[in-house]
Amino acid sequence: MRISFSESGGVAYFPGLNKPNTIEVDALPEGDQKELRQLVDASEFFALPEGRRPARAVRGMQHYTLTISEGDRERTVCVPAPVDSGPLQGLMQCVRRHVSG
């Protein structure tokens, strides 16, 4: 499983510095792999509507873009901050923890 994560918008957003971060889940320790897989399942990520950042985003509004690939499945979801779904929020927090080191 591969997870790509990026943030856009917000008051401190600089487009040139916004690069997606990628996590190779299979390269993580077993406990972290299990946690991420459980969060993907709990959020029903592959059933969420696909989408990219809205064309006319409200100035200063922050968005998260998350792409998850597993086998022949891939989905990209863009959600505004704050994330209003508990399971999806848990997934986003875990992913952010892994990409921030």
CB-CB contact of 68 with 23 (8 Å):
no
pLDDT at 56: 52
Residues of the chain with pLDDT under 50: none
Q: Give tens-digit pLDDT for 49-74.
A: 887 555 555 556 788 899 999 999 99
pLDDT at 82: 81
pLDDT at 57: 52
The tokens for 66 are 């998350």
Q: Which domain holds residue 57?
A: 2-99
Per the structure, how many domains does the chain have?
A: 1
Alpha-carbon distances, residue 12 vs 38, 67, 71 (angstroms): 32, 23, 36
38 three-class SS: helix
